[in-house]
Amino acid sequence: MTTLATILAGIILAILVARAWWIMRAEGPGRPRGVDPGKGYTEIESQYFSGLGGGSQMTTRVPKDPQEYARAFVPRKDKQ
């Protein structure tokens, strides 16, 4: 029985790897990522609700300007 389980696990793993390779190849390296630089902000909303009445909602504003985005990672003591 363990030989059969090993063979089935190997087949399933091979199918998953082949499927991941197929998807990555179909999307290709030319797929645009992120947003184009510019002015303004991109807003990202995240929501969480536990089933017991708790939860939270948050909106994050990410600047489209690459320099402004990079400045967000500079520690406060080093900002000029």
| pLDDT tens per residue, range 35-80 | 778 888 989 999 888 877 778 899 999 998 988 888 888 887 876 6
Write the single-letter amino acid at 35.
V
pTM of the model: 0.46
Position 1 pLDDT exceeds 70: no
| 8 Å CB contact between 3 and 31 | no
Element (H, E) at 41: strand 41-49
